[in-house]
Amino acid sequence: MENQKDLAYYLSLPYTFQIRRIEDEGDISYWANVKELDGCHTAADTWQEAYSELEEVLKAHIEIKLEHGDPIPEPVDQNFSGKFNVRVPKTLHKQLSIMAEEEGISLNQYILHKLSK
């Protein structure tokens, strides 16, 4: 008999979170989804809220799929480490750090946000 994959297994997989900034008549919000899972998405007022809520939506989405015995797509492993180094001018480093602080997030999170646009 084949081993049943459980919630912990699926939550340990490297699913692709996509977060987009939406501007509508001066209002800014964020749309977030899991690339590999149709229907796994949320909207929020800030980037941080979108990311946090998407983690919760992912868990609920997988729980429902498991409950109903529906297939759950897994991300394709392309052997990316998730790390790379970039050298930038000191002035740009300072500017990015200030902008991250204004948003109340780490420099890494801020750069990730900017790169994901």
Break the chain into its structural domains and give their ranges.
Answer: 1-78, 85-117
Read off the pLDDT of residues 74-108 as tens digits, 9 standing for 90 and up: 998 667 788 888 999 999 999 999 999 999 999 99
pTM higher than the cut 0.85: no
User: pLDDT value at position 1?
Assistant: 38
Q: Among the CATH numbers 2.60.120.10, 3.20.20.70, 3.30.160.250, 3.30.70.20, which is that of 1-78?
A: 3.30.160.250
Give the SS3 label for residue 66: helix
Read off the pLDDT of residues 9-68 as tens digits, 9 standing for 90 and up: 999 999 999 999 999 888 999 999 999 999 999 999 999 999 999 999 999 999 999 999
| Residue 26 and residue 33 in contact, taking contact as beta carbons nearer than 8 Å | no
- What are the angstrom distances between the C-alpha of 69 and each of 66, 76, 94? 5, 21, 50
User: pLDDT value at position 74?
Assistant: 93
